[in-house]
Amino acid sequence: MDAISVIRTKRDRGELSPEQIDWVIDAYTRGEVADEQMSALAMAILLNGMNRTEIARWTAAMIASGERMDFGALSRPTTDKHSTGGVGDKITLPLAPLVAACGAAVPQLSGRGLGHTGGTLDKLESIPGWRAHLSNAEMLDVLDTTGAVICAAGDGLAPADKKLYALRDVTGTVEAIPLIASSIMSKKIAEGTGALVLDVKVGSGAFMKTIEDARELASTMVALGTDSGVRTVALLTDMATPLGLTAGNALEVRESVEVLAGGGPKDVIDLTLALAREMLDAAGLKDADPEKALADGSAMDVWRRMISAQGGDPDAELPVAREQHVISAPSSGVLTRLDAYDVGVAAWRLGAGRARKEDPVQAGAGVELHAKPGDTVTEGQPLLTLHTDTPEKFEYALKALPGSYDIAPAGTPFTATPVVRERIA
């Protein structure tokens, strides 16, 4: 085998053989295939695609590059959720303890934010003392004692994906659906969960801008999970508007705790419950009632135990940014649009996100929303509040927001897009 022949096969719209796929993934992981060669192959895959057989083999090869976890010793069925990323997407935070409170074990391996999309680990690290990196033994202990764990994936889990993910990010091949699907599913299958629910975002704030692309990605991942023996279902969910009323690390933790305490924005509650029901159903716990677990405080109890088990203080004050800037409504009427991507870029520029993986983030930075599409606003009332420790960032963040919202005359009819748009199983 050699890299050039593999590249040429896909460049010329051919089907990669199982042997070619196994060799190129293994060789790239070992350093025998250079970054520029894998970059060329990734671009050929972006342009020419892969069929189901190729994607399945590519995913299996990435799984085989590292270890596989086993939760067979747990007394509870395991179920997990993966989101393709969005703005204000804090759903994992209330969802994991909620599902655990209903009798499942939730091994949630999460990541960090990059660009305009937030990262679950960055959000949780705004809680004093909380740590993301656990050994496999520590992860199993937290999972066994609390029912839920949210942590970083270990270096031994699909190392080929870790290397390829970083390469895709700098070569313009992030959007390749075969590579997105295999990246997500290689880690989730290697993780060893028994059931998986995929939250595939669609809209301006998501990687998948159209319902057709989101549907293709979801169908591909559901097929990969099913073929590997993992009960898998996907929900296509709206990301044209930010989720909830916050985009930023500590801001989103605060909002998640409000949801666990029985309050919080309706769209966050609705999506949390929809995903919880899917996860519990996939785990065989069809009679569990997540709405009751949210109302009676049992989900909050799991949250507190889970945070404490990873060194965090659930009672600690969350960081607050030193500086705020308020954007007021320029006119009265009905807010009909608030663009998720623009809000995400503003939050990123304020310090809530990073341009490179090694960049630090500000715990208190982000954007607070005072109205959502469909709400009536009055001229001069606060529309958005920008938060940062570094006020010189306001000017750059504000450049992302002109044209990010529309206000129609009072009385203009408005129909909200449902937060769950489709289900694929």
Task: Write down the pLDDT at residue 315.
Answer: 97
Task: Write down the pLDDT at residue 358.
Answer: 75
Between 70 and 367, whose confidence is greater?
367
Residues 113 and 189 in one domain: yes
CB 25 within 8 A of CB 58: yes
Domain CATH number, residue 45: 1.20.970.10
Q: Is 413 exposed, middle or buried (0-12, 13-18, 19+ CB in 10 A)?
A: exposed
Q: Which residues are within 8 A (CB) of 339 and not within 5 positions of it... i.e. 6 or more apart?
A: 204, 205, 240, 241, 403, 404, 405
Q: Count of CB atoms within 10 A of residue 371's CB?
A: 20
Residues 44 and 92 in one domain: no
Task: Write down the pLDDT at residue 259.
Answer: 98
Task: Write down the pLDDT at residue 166.
Answer: 82
Strands 420-424 and 382-388: unpaired
180: pLDDT strictly greater than 90: yes
Residues 297 and 190 in one domain: yes
Task: Write down the pLDDT at residue 225.
Answer: 95
CA distance 332 to 378: 4
3-state secondary structure of 149: strand
Measured in degrees and rounded to the nearest 5, phi and psi for residue 387 equal: -120, 135
The mean per-residue pLDDT over the stretch 127-138 comes to 95
What are the helix (H) ranges across 249-399? 249-260, 266-282, 290-295, 298-309, 340-347, 394-398
CA distance 160 to 313: 35
Q: Count of CB atoms within 10 A of residue 41's CB?
A: 23
115: pLDDT strictly greater than 80: no
Structure tokens at 302: 């799991």
Residues 355 and 261 in one domain: no
Which residues are designated catalytic? 82, 161, 168, 183, 187
Residues 376 and 297 in one domain: no
CB 302 within 8 A of CB 101: yes
Task: Write down the pLDDT at residue 159.
Answer: 93
Residues 237 and 330 in one domain: no
369: pLDDT strictly greater than 90: yes
Residues 287 and 357 in one domain: no
Residues 87 and 213 in one domain: yes
CA distance 196 to 184: 11
Please write the tens of the pLDDT for every residue from 32-58.
999 999 999 999 999 999 999 999 999
Q: Please, which pLDDT band fits residue 112 given cuts at 50, 70 and 90?
A: confident
Asked if residue 416 belongs to a domain, the reply is no
Q: Please, which pLDDT band fits residue 243 given cuts at 50, 70 and 90?
A: very high
Domain CATH number, residue 237: 3.40.1030.10
Residues 39 and 98 in one domain: no
Parent domain of 352: 323-408
Closest of 172, 238, 173 to residue 200, by C-alpha: 238
Please write the tens of the pLDDT for every residue from 43-96.
999 999 999 999 999 999 999 999 999 898 899 999 999 999 999 999 999 999
Asked if residue 383 belongs to a domain, the reply is yes
Q: What is the residue-averaged pLDDT of the chain?
A: 95
- The domain tally of the chain equals 3
CB 387 within 8 A of CB 368: yes
Task: Write down the pLDDT at residue 408.
Answer: 98
Residues 217 and 359 in one domain: no
Asked if residue 284 belongs to a domain, the reply is yes
Structure tokens at 16: 């990669």
Task: Write down the pLDDT at residue 175.
Answer: 84
Structure tokens at 332: 């009265």
Closest of 125, 87, 113, 88 to residue 359, by C-alpha: 113
Task: Write down the pLDDT at residue 356.
Answer: 75
Asked if residue 202 belongs to a domain, the reply is yes
The mean per-residue pLDDT over the stretch 137-152 comes to 95
Last residue of a domain, one of 287, 309, 331: 309
Residues 87 and 199 in one domain: yes
Q: Please, which pLDDT band fits residue 182 given cuts at 50, 70 and 90?
A: very high
> How far does CA 164 lie from the centroid of its chain?
18
Residues 381 and 265 in one domain: no
CB 371 within 8 A of CB 331: no
Q: Please, which pLDDT band fits residue 209 given cuts at 50, 70 and 90?
A: very high
Domain CATH number, residue 393: 3.90.1170.30
Please write the tens of the pLDDT for every residue from 378-405.
999 999 999 999 999 999 999 999 999 9
Q: Please, which pLDDT band fits residue 162 given cuts at 50, 70 and 90?
A: confident
